[in-house]
């Protein structure tokens, strides 16, 4: 008997990376999946996004586990598309128990700076809200909502030597902070209904969002064109444990716990999966 046996999970950004990992991990423990992804690139994002074939591969991996999946290409910035995807998924799978609002992008060092701000906020904040609000009418007692934040939400970037030079990068931190407050306040409103809402804050994760030129330049600004090998030692600065990054499954295991009945009384949590990164930068406080 799996830890989420018989449940149905809605996962955004499921084409690859963390989203695929979450979908597969939940399926391993008995869940059926409604999976969505944009499946095309954005001009302000300096790395390729998931493709239609990537989303099909997620579906194949879930079906290989003998679980059902409804996979839909949809843009989290457009709530109507998410509502349509959920309607289709619930019609086939019968219910909705888990929401994993995972879809996110990073637009550091983008040439179209203000468009980068817009794309990141619309995806990483509005996209989370759209996923949650599309799902709320279908959720009942025992349901679990999980949003992907980031340790970037905790970062103090002031004072800045220059402002307005990387709106896409700053928008990432802004969106993650605001979604954290949104989920905190939502959890309060859902608690009497016994619906839980939590945020997971990863540190560096071994995905395409980490392994791209913009990120390498952020960690190695001393080099004109840093490579993965140049940046990897610098990635250690984010964590107290001596590692450059964690794996998607490390986040998926936390998603599984929060989705399961093992966490039936865990709500309003800002859960850091950060290899001690917070400990490295902040003192204890309640």
Residues serving a catalytic function are 172
Q: Is 196 helix (H, G, I), strand (E, B) or coil?
A: strand
Count Cα neighbours of 237 within 13 Å in the Cβ-side half-sphere: 9
CA 128 to chain centre: 9
Helix, strand, coil % over all residues of the chain, rounded to 5 = 45, 15, 40
Q: How far is CA 207 from CA 116, 131, 190, in A?
A: 20, 22, 32
**Looking up tokens 């290989």, which residue turns up?**
64
* Contacting residues for 135 by C-beta, under 8 A, at least 6 apart: 10, 86, 96, 99, 145
Task: Tell me 165's DSSP state.
Answer: S
Task: Give dist(CA 283, CA 197) in Å, integer.
Answer: 26
Under 8 Å between Cβ of 232 and 244: yes
């Amino acid at each position: 008997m799996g830890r989420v046996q018989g449940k149905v999970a809605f996962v955004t950004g499921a084409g690859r990376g963390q989203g695929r990992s979450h979908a597969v991990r939940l399926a391993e423990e008995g869940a059926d999946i409604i999976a969505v992804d944009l499946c095309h690139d954005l001009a302000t994002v300096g790395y390729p996004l998931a493709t239609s074939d990537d989303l099909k591969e997620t579906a194949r991996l879930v079906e290989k586990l003998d679980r059902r999946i409804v996979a839909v290409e949809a843009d989290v910035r457009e709530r109507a598309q998410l509502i349509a995807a959920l309607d289709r998924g619930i019609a086939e799978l019968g219910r909705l128990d888990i929401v994993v609002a995972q879809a996110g992008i990073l637009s550091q060092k983008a040439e179209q700076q203000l468009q980068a701000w817009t794309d990141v906020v619309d995806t990483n904040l509005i996209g989370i809200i759209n996923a949650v609000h599309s799902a709320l009418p279908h959720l009942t007692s025992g349901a679990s909502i999980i949003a992907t934040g980031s340790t970037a939400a905790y970062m103090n970037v002031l004072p800045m030597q220059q402002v307005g030079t990387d709106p896409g990068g700053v928008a990432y931190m802004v969106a993650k902070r605001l979604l954290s407050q949104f989920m905190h306040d939502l959890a309060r409103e859902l608690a009497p209904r016994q619906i839980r809402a939590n945020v997971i804050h990863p540190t560096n994760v071994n995905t395409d969002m980490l392994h791209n030129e913009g990120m390498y330049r952020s960690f190695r600004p001393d080099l004109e064109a840093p490579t993965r090998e140049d940046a990897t030692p610098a990635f250690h600065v984010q964590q107290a444990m001596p590692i450059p990054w964690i794996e998607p499954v490390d986040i998926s295991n936390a998603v599984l716990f929060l989705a399961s009945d093992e966490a039936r009384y865990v709500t309003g949590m800002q859960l850091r999966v950060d290899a001690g990164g917070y400990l490295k930068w902040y003192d204890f406080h309640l």
